[in-house]
Amino acid sequence: MLKNLVAQRVNPDVPSALSGLFVNDPDPHAISFAAGSPNERLFPVKEMQRAFNTAIEQQGAHLFQYQSMQGNLNLREKLVARIQKWGHVTTTADNVLVTVGGQQAIELVAKALLDPGDEMVVEVPTYVGALAAFDLYQPTYYSVDLQADGLDLDELEDTLKRHPGIKLLYTVPDYHNPTGITMSVAKRQALVTLANRYDFIILEDSPYRDLGYANLPLPAIKSFDTQDRVIFVSSLSKILMPALRTGWLVADGPILDAILKVRLASDLEANGVIHAAIANYMEENDLDQHVNVLKDHYRQQCTAMVAALENDFPEEVSFTRPKGGFFDWVTLPEELDAAALLSQQVIPQAHINYVPGTNFYPGRDVHNSLRLCFSGLSPAEISAGMGRLGEQVKAAVREVRPVL
């Protein structure tokens, strides 16, 4: 059996929790709230085409040469200016690594920091792609609940006292995937204080930070870092285009050195042709103006989804009210299993798709929640789809909680 030759940590009998997550449903009648993709109708295709042409015209053959392990310097300088302006992080281009999406940044951090059995904390629920990356390095997970203003810091401190060996904490502080929750500024600061006191590293993953519908981005957790313990990760996937596969991280000192070492072994460097085009795009266009257009669309889509949750769903169901990003998190009564509901009723009867919540927990032990993504649909499609989903949920709730 060739499968026996696969490394045990890859767990070959279990498919990746990420597989299928970014694919749109082939059923023409389906409305999919599953795919966590940005809305491609909003991609600045012409502007990007011009930026690629400029890169080729300006640099010719040299553009296609090996370039830089850390990524195009011009692009790194532009990213430094953005995170200084919007995240209050003071850093330099030497501390930035451009990666193949934010996903690679997470995976490089996992590879650089985690030995099998190492203890780490994740907020729950958490980004399924981060779990997919961490899982390969076999950590011991501790889960800490999310509150309306982010991580429950009392529960975190309790966990840290009981497990003093914890070395890494992963958090998505801004318009969190999958819940849409944002961590308060006070908690960001307090989290860094805890990291200093209990000697762990914070991996701050923030691809949605620019997409607050009515708010400017909050100071990054990294902006409170006094001991080089915070690794900041972001991405251009959600504010430009995901196929550019361009993410980035900011780190310092020995942590940065370790990440650079594993990056060299992984792929030498990311795609310099694309970096040059993005740098040109950012020179020739106002990225913040583009982001404002996105925010306006996503706000209307989110409003349509929350209105439908309020009007079309039974009161036994609870849900978040995001102020930015792509996602809403729905919690059903405990007796219901969101995966079974999806495959047995929602897809066949209503032609609606969503992501059941189980894979967003490291223990895969919570079954009554689901993630809804509204980014790719118009408000009309959202209202229609949510009406159909609401009918199914109502029927399922009435079965387990009959009205007497």
Ligand X SMILES: Cc1ncc(COP(=O)(O)O)c(C=O)c1O
Which residues of the chain form contacts with ligand X (CB under 6 A)? 36, 101-103, 127, 129, 172, 177, 205, 207, 235, 237, 242, 247
Least separation in angstroms between residue 79's CB and ligand X is: 13
- Tokens 């850390």, residue located: 70
The strand pairing partners of 338, in sequence order, are: none
Q: Cβ(242)–Cβ(40) under 8 Å?
A: no
Q: What is residue 66's DSSP assignment? A: -
Nearer to ligand X, 313 or 360 (CB): 360
Task: Give 208 or 319: the residue with its C-beta nearer to ligand X.
Answer: 208
| Residues 6 or more apart in contact with residue 257 via CB below 8 angstroms | none
Q: In the complex with ligand X, which residue's Cβ is closer, 130 or 160? A: 130
* Residue 305 and residue 374 in contact, taking contact as beta carbons nearer than 8 Å: yes
Give the sign of the dihedral formed by CA 109, CA 112, CA 116, CA 119.
negative
Residue 363: Cβ-neighbour burial (10 angstroms; 0-12, 13-18, 19+): exposed
CB of 121 to ligand X, least distance (A): 16
Rounded to the nearest whole angstrom, what is the least distance from the CB of residue 36 to ligand X in the complex? 5
Rounded least distance, CB 232 to ligand X, Å: 12
CB of 237 to ligand X, least distance (A): 3
By C-beta, is 156 or 172 nearer to ligand X?
A: 172
DSSP assignment letter at 321: -
Q: How far is the CB of 389 from ligand X (least distance, A)?
A: 22
CA 327, chain centre distance (Å): 10
DSSP 8-state secondary structure symbol assigned to residue 357? G
Q: Whose CB is nearest to ligand X? A: 101
CB of residue 178 to ligand X, shortest distance in Å: 8
Q: How many CB atoms lie within 10 A of CB 111?
A: 18
Q: Determine the residue type at 126.
A: T
Cα distances from 270 to residues 100, 104, 396, in angstroms, run 6, 10, 48
